[in-house]
Chain A
Amino acid sequence: MVVVTGASRGLGRAIAERCHSQGVEVHGLSRTGGDALFPIHACDVSSPDDVKKVAAALKALGKPLMGLVNAAGVASMNLALTTPPSVVRKIVDTNLLGTIFCCQAFAPLMIRGKKGSIINFSTIAVALGLKGESVYVASKAGIEGFSHAFAREMADFGVRVNCIAPGPIDTDLLKGITPVQIEKIVSRQVVQKKFGPEAVCDLVELLLDDRSASLSGQVVHVGGV
């Protein structure tokens, strides 16, 4: 069984569908719930009570949880000086706190099986320090730091924790970024190519697989940086 947050659209949806196509039992989380080939539970990841309720429901299924993919995220392209406090809170609450709350709630299900893989999401914007994304970067840099330390906490229980940091991928999060800006970011990657959701899904598949058993506490940059 694998849990994917942000499963109703974008990268979360693509990842959930990839896992499902591989025959994995997928449970998605999204604020609105929804219809898909797999169940999508209504859950606001920034609410620890919402997350606990879903975790309890999944625990009651009695099946081992092998993977957690924290793909739920929001962004706001704006200078820090002109970002309203409510937007700052929303970005940090959804991205950073949502990731932490989901790890807290779902990791115990993996600890019971002494095995599991948690994949959190960062962004190339952290490594590049992209102008106009400082608040978003703050939330994602927090995820990288948390994942690194949390990986050490989980290692003794056989659970691995890694981050994937995509560059520009065609999802709603790219709205408001011009093609010229996208090209500029891609030019700073090692592999100077604009990758799509499939590349991210490939990495998720690898990190969920036992063949990546030697990897934990790492940030994997799509395209390299």
Chain B
Amino acid sequence: MIELNASELKAKVFQSIHRLVEAKELVVKDATVLIGDGSVVDSMKLVELCLALEDIAAEHGFTFDWTSEAAMSRSRSMFRTAGALTEEFIRQARSTSWSS
């Protein structure tokens, strides 16, 4: 079973978001909006974020799928906030470790 540290993964997700925002004084929190009104990144940066998370996932031995129906659905989108994205990222990590 792959050892996963949820806190570590959360920190990496938040760091990845922070690297892409223009306002460097921003503190990324669970409620930080990633799509729609008030989003801290544009669509291009969102793609770059997804690629960065793919790489982090690969380092931890799992594949991060950001093109699923849930990811794309506006109402349940994992991109709605940094917290939702982190939750989905950790969920995918855990579902891979349980099946290993």
Contacts and interface: CB of A to CB of B under 8 A. Distances in A.
A111 B44 CA distance: 11
A140 B67 CA distance: 24
Contacts of B51: 108, 111-112
B47 A104 contact: no
Contact of B47 (A52, A56, A105, A111): A111
A56 B63 contact: yes
A52 B66 CA distance: 11
Interface string A54-90: 0010000000000000000000000000000000000
Interface of B: 43-44, 47, 50-51, 54, 63, 65, 67
A162 B67 CA distance: 23
Q: Is the interface of A mostly helix, strand, loop or mixed?
A: helix
Contacts, number: 17
Given A108-B51, A111-B51, A112-B51, A156 B67 contact: no
B18 to A, nearest CB: 21
B50 to A, nearest CB: 8
Contacts of A156: 44
Nearest to B63: A56
A52 B67 contact: yes
Contact of A104 (B54, B63, B67): B67
A50 B79 CA distance: 25
Nearest to B50: A108
A105 B47 CA distance: 13
Nearest to A105: B67
A48 B43 CA distance: 22
Contacts of A104: 67
13 contacts: A52-B65, A52-B67, A104-B67, A105-B67, A108-B47, A108-B51, A108-B54, A111-B47, A112-B51, A153-B43, A156-B44, A157-B44, A157-B47
A100 to B, nearest CB: 12
A157 B43 CA distance: 12
A38 B51 CA distance: 28
A45 to B, nearest CB: 15
A180 B43 CA distance: 50
Interface string A152-165: 01001100000000
A202 B43 CA distance: 35
